[in-house]
Structures are given as structure tokens and as C-alpha cells.
Structure 1
Amino acid sequence: MSPDQQRPDQSKADRSKADHRTRLTVFVALAANLVIALAKAVGGVVAGSPALLSEAAHSVADSLNEVFLLAALRRSRRPPDTRHPFGYGKERFFWALLAAVGIFVMGGCFSFFQGVEALRDGAQEKLSGYVAGLVVLGVALLAEGASLYRAVHQARGEDRGLRDPALRTVIAEDGTAVLGVCLAIAGMALHMVTGQVVWEASASLAIGALLVFVAYRLGADARDQLIGEAADPELSDRIREQLAAEPEIVSVEALFTMRLGLETTMVAARIDLVPGLDSEEVEEVLVRIKGALAETFTEAGQIFLDVTDRSAQEARESPAATGERGGA
């Protein structure tokens, strides 16, 4: 097998391994959130704690989102077909958008509801279950912290890092969960010390605001990618430089890129070739340039080159076409 054949195969194998690690990270987060959600829900009902119930809703939302992310990892690797000739890479962005909606609705809105209800009902007399609730939150903090550490460690160890929407969502969820648990602990502890439920209600409202903010950021990123986000400027500049360096290309009139998935980018360029090439020579040049681009930029899954009609362009710019006349 030639080196040119080995490189795409190696890149595909690397992507498969990265997906396997991401899938394992999501499974770890899912298992942790399911156990934590059950513990928080039971503790919240026993203690009557709005902050603990808000955190239970937060964990339930995270668990559902991890299911979405697992679906994204599986479905986004389907090969192109006649109905989707550019592949299914954007499945990751779609399921990441659903995860953001889940965080907003199930986590943020319920947390706001719990905070408002606590403020309306006033102080509660029964605080005996709060000690057990704080223990539950302490265990949850350790579990969420371990899941966050794994996700961050994986992101740092991979080239694609936070470009993976599944991995980025897990990090956002776990990071928000750690901060949310800290807010819940503070609210419950202050409620126990002062007897004022306003502290715990404020913690629930703060958790809700935090979840709404995270959901907005994740949703905005997914939206940009779904409607057609360009490749990184650095990648576009490198592609333009390589095209401009080709001896048969006079100029690169336009360059367009769009991310089709996590590691797949569409490249479309309008180029001006040197004059004097016949149709067969033009075809050979385009095939060679496309092959060189695909070899250098493995993420360029689709490459389109449009050759400008130089003779027509010169005719349009000639003095006769523009109505100019020379002097006598």
C-alpha cells in the first residue's frame, strides 16, 4: 500500500479511536448522572429542599442529553448516500442543539420554578433531612468532578479538542453541574444556619440562570454549525496559499469553505488558469490540484474547482465593451 493510501486509512482509524474515547466519556457521564439524579430526587423530596430538587432536575436533563449525544456519535458516522450526498456529519450539531434545548427546558426552567415557589411559600420548619441532602450533594460533587476531569483530559489530549460538540457538551454539562452543586450546598447550608429560605431559593434561581446561559451558548454554537459555518480562517488561508502556489493558477478569485461535520469540510474555489491550456490539459490540472489538496488537507472531504472564463472576462473588460474610445 502506498503512503498516499495509508494516510487516509490512518486518519480514519484515528477518528474512530477518538470517537470511541468520546463515547466512553459520555457513558461515564451518563452513568454518573443517572445515579446522582436518583439520589438528589430522593434527598430533595425527603428534605423538601428546592435547591436539591433543582439539582435533581439538572441531573435528569444531563442524563437525557447524554442519550442524545450517544445517538449523535452513532448516526454521524453513516456514509453518504443518494439522499445525503455530503454525509451525516451534521448529525452531531443537530443532537447538540437538542441537548441545549433539554438543558434549558428541563434544567433551567424547573430550577427557576423551584426558586420562585420557595420564595412564595416562605421559610420551612422541617430541616432535619438537610444533613442527608448535603451528604448527597457532597457525593455528587465528587462524581461530577471525576466526570469533568475525564472529559477535560480527553479534550486536551486530542487535536480536535473542543471542536467535538459531544465532548464540548459533556464538559459544559459537567462544569455547570460542579458549579450548580456548589451553589446548592451553599444555599442549603445558609438556610440551615439562618432559617431563611431566601438563601436556598436564591441558589435555585442562580442554578437556573446558569443553566439558561450554558444552554444559550451551546445552542448558538450548534445553530452556527447547522446553517453552514465556514472552516477556521487559518485552514482557509492555508488552502488559498497552496492553490496560489500551483504553477497553472494565475489567481484565486474566490474561496468558500463550509464544515460538513466534525472532520469534514467542503472546499469550493474559483480559480483563474494560465492561458493556452486546452480542455484535456485543464482537466488534468484540476485532477492533480484536487488530489494535492486532498492529500494535504485530509478534512477536505468535498473539493470543487471552478475555472473562470478568462476570454469572456477580458472581453467584458475591453474598451469596446465598456464604451471607451481611444484618442486620435
Structure 2
Amino acid sequence: MSAQADSLKSILFALGANFAIAVAKTAGAVFTGSSSMLAEAIHSYADCGNQALLIWGLKEAKSAPTADHPLGFGKAIYFWSFIVALMLFSMGGLFSIYEGVHKLHDTEPVKYAWVAVGILAFSIAAEGMSLWGCLGEIKKDRGEQSLWQWFKTSRQSELLVVLGEDLAALGGLVLAFGFILLSILTGNPMWDAVGSIAIGVLLVVVAVLVGVEVKALLVGQSATPQRIAQMRAHLEAQPEVNKVFNLLTQQLGGEIMLAVKAQMAPQPSDVALVEAINRVEKGLREHFPDVRWIFFEPDLRD
């Protein structure tokens, strides 16, 4: 089994990088009058708020079960991840497009453009480090999967969001860098406004992709196919189990609910059957620490 990715570490890494970048880009936007820089500053502050929401979501997801929520609050992280995707779409993407369209009709030359270029270069380096840290944590979880396969199958919504934010931020910075250079080389400030629109489109696309994946988790999704296959193989290897008829799983944040229907090996008594099931459940929990709830149904047929 792969190592467990540290979601909180990735979030804190991104939060620190984005706050430093936001401050630098705010100063650059005020100093240069760049709309691309202003769009990027707003995006970075929105990212800081997004990461604060993810931290809150992780904390809430660890709350103890209650009578009203007997399976706990693990799915709370999916709700906050979806809110973050909406914020990335609206505060990031739509605002950037609006700012760019506004500037197309009221173009202004970029003041001190080389200052903006320098700040963007710093931001690209900082955001690259944040993305590197996020990818390092994702690698622990994805194993031999490609990054795209992991994105489509991962059940860690907070990591999906951080990855999407980091990729969108880095792509936006590269676009802002390129379009400001075009404005300098051509002397046409229109390119700066076009850059803001391009950044907004990128953010909207990333937000939609992340939102679709998180929505599936929010509605209710099983554990990953690889995890289910591992659990089935483990059960079938137990001497107490003759045949596994069915496995039903539900991903609840960082925890899994598992329902098993299986044919048990013959036991001398009802008590012995119960003890055999208890041994199987104990072995499952030891081998799969993220399995918190197990509902075991012994049967003769599916």
C-alpha cells in the first residue's frame, strides 16, 4: 500500500507561498497599474482564503460522531472543497475576465512594467515550490498512476483542490508574465488586458474540473477501485472466509465505511461464528486503518 499523503502539510505550504505572493503582487499592481497583476493579486488572496477554509474543513471532518451524524463528519471536507471550487470560479476566474474586458475598453499603459516582470518572476518561483510540495505529497498517494488518473480517482478532495489551485496559479503567472512582456515589446497595453482574460478563462476551466470531481465525492462515492480490490483480496485470504459475495464501501473524508456479505467457513457453533467474524473484522482494521465502520453479513448466497 502507498504511504498516506499529508493534506495539511500541502495546504500550509500553499498558504505560506500564496500569502507572500499576494503581498508582492499587490505592491506590484499599485506601483505599475497592471490589470494582469491586479487579477493575480486578487487570485492569490482568494487562494489564501480558500486554504483557510480547507484547514477548517479538515478540522470539522475529525469531529466525533453524534446521534444525528452516527458516521461522523468526514464528508464535511467535501463541502468546503466544493465551496473553494466555487470561489476559484467566481472570485478568481470571473473577476479576472471582468477586469480584462473592462481594461480592453479603457486601456492604460503599464507603469514600471519591468517591476511587474520582476515580481511575477518571484511569484512563479514561489508558486513552483508550492506545486512541487503538493506533487510530493500526491506521489505518496498515487503510486504508479499518472497524475491525471489520480486526479480522476482520488478521494482526497483537499489535495485535488490544492493541486488545481497551484496549477491554475502557476499557469496564470506564466500568462501574466508573457502578456506583460508582449505589452512592453509592442508598446500596446491591450495585451495586458488580454492577459487578464486568459488568466480568468484558465481559472474557470480548472474550477470546473475540480468542482466536478468534488461533487462526485459530496454526493457519495465508494473507496477507490484499488482499495476495494485490496480489501477483497485480504478477505478472501482469511481461513474464516469461504467466499466474498459483495463489498459495499462509502468514502467519508479520510475514513471508509465497509459493508461485507460473505460465506463463512463452517463453525461448530453460533458463538464460534461470531468470534470468527470478529477476528476477520479485527484483521481488516489492522490492515486498513482508514476503515472505521464495518458491517458484516454472513450468508450462504448473494
Q: TM-score range by the shorter chain?
A: 0.7 to 0.9
> Offset of 1:33 from its aligned partner?
2.0
Give the Cα–Cα distance (whole angstroms) in 2 for the partners of residues 160 and 83 of structure 1. 34
What is aligned with 1:77?
62
> Offset of 1:184 from its aligned partner?
0.4
Matched, 1:285 2:268: no
CA distance 1:222–1:252, change in 2 (3 Å) = same
Give the Cα–Cα distance (whole angstroms) in 2 for the partners of residues 110 and 98 of structure 1. 17
Give the conservation status (yes or no) of the 8 Å contact 1:257–1:266. Answer: yes
Partner secondary structure for residue 110 of structure 2: coil
What is aligned with 2:91?
106
Counterpart of 1:217 (choices 209, 218, 235) is 209
Q: Which moved more, 1:270-279 or 1:33-42?
A: 270-279
Partner secondary structure for residue 230 of structure 1: coil
Partner secondary structure for residue 306 of structure 1: strand
Q: Deviations over 1:257-278 (max 9, x none)?
A: 111122x211112223457865
Counterpart of 2:263 (choices 257, 272, 277) is 272
Give the conservation status (yes or no) of the 8 Å contact 2:232–2:244. Answer: yes
Partner secondary structure for residue 74 of structure 2: coil
Q: Deviations over 1:140-190 (max 9, x none)?
A: 22222222223223333x347875433343232222212211100111111
Give the conservation status (yes or no) of the 8 Å contact 2:248–2:260. Answer: yes
**How many residues are treated as equivalent by the alignment?**
290
> Offset of 1:213 from its aligned partner?
1.5
Matches within 5 A, 1:51-200: 51-121=36-106, 123-124=107-108, 126-156=109-139, 158-159=140-141, 163=154, 164-200=156-192
Give the Cα–Cα distance (whole angstroms) in 1 for the partners of residues 73 and 142 of structure 2. 18
Give the conservation status (yes or no) of the 8 Å contact 2:110–2:189. Answer: no
Unaligned stretches of 5+ residues in structure 2: 144-149
Partner secondary structure for residue 286 of structure 1: helix
What is aligned with 1:294?
285
Matches within 5 A, 1:225-244: 225-244=217-236
Q: Which has the higher contact order (CA 8 A, sep 6+)?
A: 2
Counterpart of 1:254 (choices 246, 259, 267) is 246
Q: TM-score, normalised by structure 2?
A: 0.84
CA distance 1:78–1:194, change in 2 (3 Å) = same
Give the conservation status (yes or no) of the 8 Å contact 1:118–1:197. Answer: no
Give the conservation status (yes or no) of the 8 Å contact 1:28–1:147. Answer: yes
> Offset of 1:110 from its aligned partner?
0.6
CA distance 1:160–1:75, change in 2 (3 Å) = farther
Give the conservation status (yes or no) of the 8 Å contact 2:34–2:111. Answer: no
Unaligned stretches of 5+ residues in structure 1: 1-13, 314-328
User: Partner amino acid for 1:140?
Assistant: S
Partner secondary structure for residue 292 of structure 2: strand
Name the Cα RMSD after superposition. Answer: 2.7
Partner secondary structure for residue 78 of structure 1: coil
Partner secondary structure for residue 273 of structure 2: helix
Q: TM-score, normalised by structure 1?
A: 0.78
Give the Cα–Cα distance (whole angstroms) in 2 for the partners of residues 115 and 99 of structure 1. 23
Counterpart of 1:39 (choices 24, 41, 51) is 24
What is aligned with 1:4?
none
Q: Deviations over 1:275-304 (max 9, x none)?
A: 786533332232222222222222221111
Query: Max radius of gyration: which structure?
Result: 1
Give the Cα–Cα distance (whole angstroms) in 1 for the partners of residues 290 and 111 of structure 2. 58
